[in-house]
Amino acid sequence: MQLANTPYFERPLFFFDQARFRKALAEGAKPALEIFKDAAGAADTQMAERFREGEDVRTLVHERALFVDCLLHYAWHQYQWPDNISLLAVGGYGRGDLHPHSDIDLLILTHGKPDRVTVDNIERLVAFLWDLGLDIGHSVRSVEHCLELAAEDITVATNLMECRTVVGNDAMRERLANHMTPDKLWPAEKFFSAKYTEQRERHNRQQASEYNLEPNIKNAPGGLRDIQTIGWVAKRYFRVRTLKQLQGKGFFTEEEFAILQSGEDFLWRVRYGLHLLAGRAEERLLFDYQRELAKQFGYVDSGTQLAVEQFMHNYYRVVMALRELNDVLLQFLDEAILQRGQRQSVTPINERFQLRDSTIEVTQTRVFEEQPSALLEIFVLMAENPDIQGVRASTIRLIREHRHLIDEKFRSDSANAELFMQLLRSPRGLSTQLSRMTRYGVLGRYLPEFGRVTGQMQHDLFHIYTVDAHTLQVVRNMRSFRSPEAWQKFPIAAEILARMRKPELLYIAGLYHDIAKGRGGDHSKLGVADADAFCRRHQLSGRDSRLVCWLVEKHLLMSAVSQKQDITDPEVVHDFARTVGDREHLDYLYALTVADINATNPELWNSWRASLMRQLYQATRRALRRGLENPIDREEIIEETRGQARSMLRAMGLPMTSVENIWAQMGEDYFVRESADNIAWHTAAIHQLHSASKKGERRDTLVLTRNSGPGEHDGATEVFVYTPDRANVFAAVVTGLDMLNLDIHDARLYSSASGYTVDTFYVLDESGQPLLDEPHQLEQIRKTLQEELALVEDYSKVIQRRTPRRLKMFELATRASITTEPGDQYSTLEITSADRPGLLARIARIFITHDLRLHNARISTLGERVEDTFHFTDAAGHPLLDEAATRKLEEDICRELDAIQKSGNRDQKTD
């Protein structure tokens, strides 16, 4: 047989005995389809085994294409064909690249319209190939039709550029190729512009980030399609068939070609393994595949990083390097193609740099070699001059070639330190320049500690960016607080930045707050040493250095206090204020925390978290103004709140005797933790319920709902429950809310002396927002909870919703810790566990089993895990002091929740 004439296939297919295959077909002892399937199955098995044994992936990819060529050749010759027809491979298969489940794109090229017999044979051939199990995509066209479509569609043109004849008359392909040249169709300028637009749109569909948690290895920035785009544009411009033919033409350096080749090798290996694991053409590197591939590629867990984290760290570094190279080479072609022949204005900036139109470039090629400080200076110039839109490709290449000059001597030079501080103090463009410095490999060399976390990820759903991408986003968020829009979305942060003494200290803290991730231990404490070294090297004052280091060490504090502690408790606020110490530390910490939360995961920042942060900030400011030596008194709070609520109720016309009777049943905590507005709302409804009961109406349960207005907790929907106190009330309410797909973020539970439980829940919908203020939605909550509470005496319902795919990828051992400090009213339970539907209801059942009373719950969902805090007492209202009982409760909680997790995962694996 005559195989396709292609440079890719130099090795014989030793695993495919073609003589034996032809003999089996000739003898006809078995149906042809069965013979083909046997050959394909044996090849798949053999190639998969070779892959697992570590054979070169290029060999496997090209041999798979050659093997499919063979199958297509033999399949083609089972039918009769005229002389003027041929079977062509197009697209990736046309290049000779074929992964286990890649599409096999075929073009049946005809001379004019085929006759009926030929059409029948084409249909029979295609059906045969589908029955064989090949993932083919096919078209039947004449040369003229191909040219018409190619002229209209850049994708068609691109596929045809890489076509080759598998079997049939090769003159047909040559005729097509002769009409596909740049001087006849898609000239280089037009082709480049179309492919560049296509890439930009593709990147945008992938959130323009190479750092997605489950990246698309083909279409995301830095993926395989970026390598192909470079090849398509360059090969069309230089009129060559392979990138290798461009060596020595000045398009890329030897180092850049090596990066392209090694990057493609790595991504091909990942893609090949991904297809084998998925059993289909899967291009998304999903969590479960990440783990399996890490194991297959020989990564093992270390003391500081999981195997999968090491694998993905390597992956992100590779795609980042490829994206950087893609930017450089496409910009080089942009300048060579689109800007060729254009008149350009050159404006001197200084001895080292000049402006060519709107892009900056060096004045001569030895600038960085002669003055290494220029490697920082160029970014300072761009930050200070808004007219500079970017860097010339030739200068980017020089930066890449000379970044090795950024060594210890460079970092110790006070002139370079001053340049970097000048950049941090620049009024505009800081985050853009830091991103450029990262992309060109400069920031990771100037700050080696930043270089170590470049591409580093955490294998969870909470941190959706790598550490370096997250860090740059933190600084970007900080800078955005200065924009006019920030006064609407982040009013406190905007007000803080407007009067901040030295914003650059905030940016330094942002750069260093996560710098010690992945080293093991507490990264907040470990990062302090790096931050202190930076401050010393850049000659910050002792006061400024201490502030930066304090911010790095305490960057998680404000978030933890606001979300896990009861910030209505004056003692909690006073302790936090004592840690903060003064208004300046509070302001810097607030701005850092808000920027950090918003850069960790866009879904984290919602109206609820904003409300908690605002409350804590404002309460702490009041405590600082009052003086740390003069903490607020609980009695003072109670009296003030009662007075305000009394005025509201009097305005409603409620009799004060009824109000005081209702309040007499409430404990002090109720008046400390609830706002005057809430108390008035609750009291009026309870009075109405009692009045109805006196008139003979048989009602003993009250459920109220509303969206909070301005003030406390204005970012959530409030659900108020007033019902006779029974053991299963909390379990019934949380189950009912879970059935409605509502997430509880705060629960305040009070027992009244009249035998009622008084509970307030703050809930958000699945998108992290309060419910729409529509009567039917709020009524649905009331109806559902009334039905659940009617069954409370014999309550056994447990929510049975499916666990989402992403959540079941993570099995997290539950941790439970119970503490009781001397003088505490309650014991505190902290639970960290995998997030699962119905989890809160299960925890409620554990409290019932152990005869415990729950008084408060703070619910925090962080990706695939929950970090919940509960305040409880025993049945008599006392904190848990028995050490043996405490340990037993911790063990029971862990055992119960882990069993639920395993059961849910096991059930779904059988779906």
pLDDT for the residue 247: 81
* Rounded CA separation 12/10 (Å): 7
Least confident of 92-101, 231-240, 443-452: 231-240
Least confident of 396-400, 424-428, 434-438, 865-869: 865-869
Among 141, 142, 293, 156, CA closest to 217: 293
* Rounded CA separation 443/430 (Å): 13
Among 681, 609, 616, CA closest to 645: 681
Sign (positive or negative) of CA dihedral 320, 322, 327, 328: positive
Query: Are 818 and 756 contacting, i.e. CB atoms less than 8 angstroms apart?
Result: no
Mean pLDDT of the chain: 89
Reported as a single tens digit per residue, the pLDDT across 267-319 is: 999 999 999 999 999 999 998 899 999 999 999 998 888 999 999 999 999 99
Reported as a single tens digit per residue, the pLDDT across 104-125 is: 999 999 998 999 999 999 999 9
Query: Does residue 10 register a pLDDT over 70?
Result: no
Query: Are 466 and 438 contacting, i.e. CB atoms less than 8 angstroms apart?
Result: no
* Rounded CA separation 458/460 (Å): 6
Specify the residue for token string 């309410």: 733
Query: Does residue 1 register a pLDDT over 50?
Result: no
* Rounded CA separation 550/29 (Å): 81
pLDDT for the residue 865: 77
* Rounded CA separation 907/911 (Å): 7
* Rounded CA separation 292/273 (Å): 9
pLDDT for the residue 902: 67
What Cα–Cα distance (Å) separates residue 361 from each residue in 101, 327, 349, 393, 440?
Answer: 45, 16, 10, 8, 15
Classify each residue of 95-128 as buried b or exposed e, where b means 16 or more C-beta atoms within 10 Å of its C-beta.
Answer: bbbbbbbbebbbbbbbbeebeeebeebbeebbeb
Residue type, 453: V
Query: Are 594 and 493 contacting, i.e. CB atoms less than 8 angstroms apart?
Result: yes
pLDDT for the residue 620: 97
Least confident of 195-209, 351-365, 689-703, 790-804: 790-804
pLDDT for the residue 608: 86
pLDDT for the residue 853: 86
CATH superfamily of the 189-337 domain: Nucleotidyltransferases  domain 2 (1.20.120.330)
Q: 234 — phi, psi (to 5°)?
A: -65, -45
What Cα–Cα distance (Å) separates residue 851 from each residue in 112, 288, 740, 815, 876?
Answer: 85, 40, 28, 21, 10
Q: Where are the domains of the chain?
A: 18-186, 189-337, 447-624, 634-907
The token pair that represents 135 in the structure block = 């993932």
The token pair that represents 749 in the structure block = 């539970």
Query: Are 631 and 623 contacting, i.e. CB atoms less than 8 angstroms apart?
Result: yes
* Rounded CA separation 576/598 (Å): 22
* Rounded CA separation 670/653 (Å): 23
Reported as a single tens digit per residue, the pLDDT across 145-173 is: 999 999 999 999 999 998 999 999 999 99
Reported as a single tens digit per residue, the pLDDT across 787-817 is: 888 887 766 555 454 545 554 556 678 899 9
**Would you say domain 18-186 falls under CATH 3.40.50.300?**
no
Q: What's the predicted TM-score (pTM) here? A: 0.87
Question: Which residues lie closer than 8 Å to 338 by C-beta, 6 or more apart?
Answer: 189, 192, 193
- Mean per-residue pLDDT, 701-724: 81
How far the first Cα of the chain sits from its last, in Å, is: 48
Among 704, 709, 895, 902, CA closest to 785: 704
pLDDT for the residue 864: 66
- What is the enclosing helix (H) or strand (E) of 264? helix 254-278
Q: Which residue has the higher pLDDT, 614 or 732?
A: 614
Reported as a single tens digit per residue, the pLDDT across 360-379 is: 999 999 999 999 999 999 99
Nearest 10 degrees: Cα torsion 228, 231, 237, 242: -140
The token pair that represents 107 in the structure block = 């073009």
Other beta carbons less than 10 A from residue 824's beta carbon? 13
Pairing between strand 136-142 and 104-110?
Answer: parallel
* Rounded CA separation 149/152 (Å): 5
pLDDT for the residue 521: 87
pLDDT for the residue 606: 84
Specify the residue for token string 């992938």: 206
Q: 518 — phi, psi (to 5°)?
A: 85, 5
Query: Are 733 and 789 contacting, i.e. CB atoms less than 8 angstroms apart?
Result: yes
Query: Does residue 488 register a pLDDT over 80?
Result: yes
Reported as a single tens digit per residue, the pLDDT across 616-641 is: 999 999 999 999 888 888 888 999 99
pLDDT for the residue 7: 38
Reported as a single tens digit per residue, the pLDDT across 864-881 is: 678 889 888 888 889 998
Query: Does residue 657 register a pLDDT over 60?
Result: yes
68 alpha-carbon distance from chain centroid? 38
Where residue 134 falls (left for φ over 0; alpha for ψ -120 to 50; beta otherwise) is: beta
List, in sequence order, every residue forming a beta bridge with 865; answer none if it has no partner: 834, 862
The secondary structure of 403-429 as a DSSP string is GGG-SHHHHH-HHHHHHHHHHHT-SS-
The secondary structure of 553-575 as a DSSP string is HHTTHHHHHHHHS-TTSHHHHHH
Among 73, 97, 86, 85, CA closest to 6: 97
Sign (positive or negative) of CA dihedral 464, 469, 474, 477: negative
pLDDT for the residue 339: 77
Q: How confident is the model at residue 4 (pLDDT cuts 50, 70, 90)?
A: very low
- Mean per-residue pLDDT, 484-493: 94
* Rounded CA separation 74/566 (Å): 75
Question: Which residues lie closer than 8 Å to 82 by C-beta, 6 or more apart?
Answer: 114, 115, 118
* Rounded CA separation 110/146 (Å): 10
Reported as a single tens digit per residue, the pLDDT across 569-589 is: 899 999 999 999 999 999 999
Pairing between strand 390-391 and 104-110?
Answer: unpaired
